[in-house]
Structure 1
Amino acid sequence: MSYDEFYVKSVVRSISDWPEPGVIFRDVTPVFKDPKAMRITCDAFIQRYIDSSITHVACIDARGFILGSVVAYQLNLPLVLIRKKGKLPGETIAEEYSLEYGSATVELQKDAIQEGDTVLIFDDLIATGGTVLAAASLIKRLGGQVAEVAALIDLPDLKGSQRIQDSGIPVFALLAYEGL
């Protein structure tokens, strides 16, 4: 781990027993409040994708918007929003996915992606991978291809990044936290 990655990891806050007992929540919001950590994080992603063939950056509601919008802006690429059901105006397509206790739905505007677009999916954290896989499904349904999934944090013990990779989509996370 580089000094920069160590610094960002030191800024991420771990909150025990939230949202339920036994869970350690990895809170990325302190990264947004720390200009140095935010710059290190954004610069790492910008450097990774500056020479890539991606044509769009798709961000997942809501913390994914913060980092993904900076990356899209710096790479001069269109920003695509993947939101919770009922939050996007106009014509949308929806994808339901399973949660540990129930289900959720994400949507994408029908005109956000076109046939042949190469999309980077951006989120703050990969846990079980359900949201990312639903987002990838939406992009594919509109004719786009997913180049990679990028996240600030991966929780490999929850096997989400493995599920995403098993679906044929590469994953890059700046940080990983073992344990739940």
Structure 2
Amino acid sequence: MQPLVTTTRLTLRDWSTDDAPAALAIYGSSEVAHWLTPVLGRIADVDAMRAVLEQWQQEQPGLTPPQGRWAIERNDDGAVVGGVGIRLLPPDAEDLELSWQLNPDEWGKGYATEAARGLITWAFTQDIDELFAVARPNNARALATVKRLDMQWVGETTKYYGLNLQVYRLRPGDLQG
């Protein structure tokens, strides 16, 4: 399996159904699911997680780059510590959303910023003009990450997912050397 992006500490790669237990520690965690959009929600068990991963695997080849979902694997031990993705935002499917989720045991180690930065750098080689991130106003961790990524605050909206969200944008010219 060819990695999408490799950073100093992390590799972004396609999900495998073998990742279901590690993925469940992320997407099955109430601490993570609390912040997820209604599209995904909390995953109940390993079988349900495996089914979600199978769906992501089936969808991936048909997506126009840079869209997709990838596992975040730690280089030193191969552990899956999170996931990143780029998807079209509802309702108009015009804006590309950058998202990241980490196992709560891995919070505070800089993995979200490192993985997102690697994904952003790759995404801007795919002929796109901008990426967006959305976060609930009280999601302090996500808001801190968008600031570390030098994303620009656009405003607050209920356009996406019918939720009150803070919207941030990044364009290729905004990237710090």
* Greater strand proportion: 1
TM-score (norm 1): 0.30
Q: What TM-score, normalized to structure 2?
A: 0.30
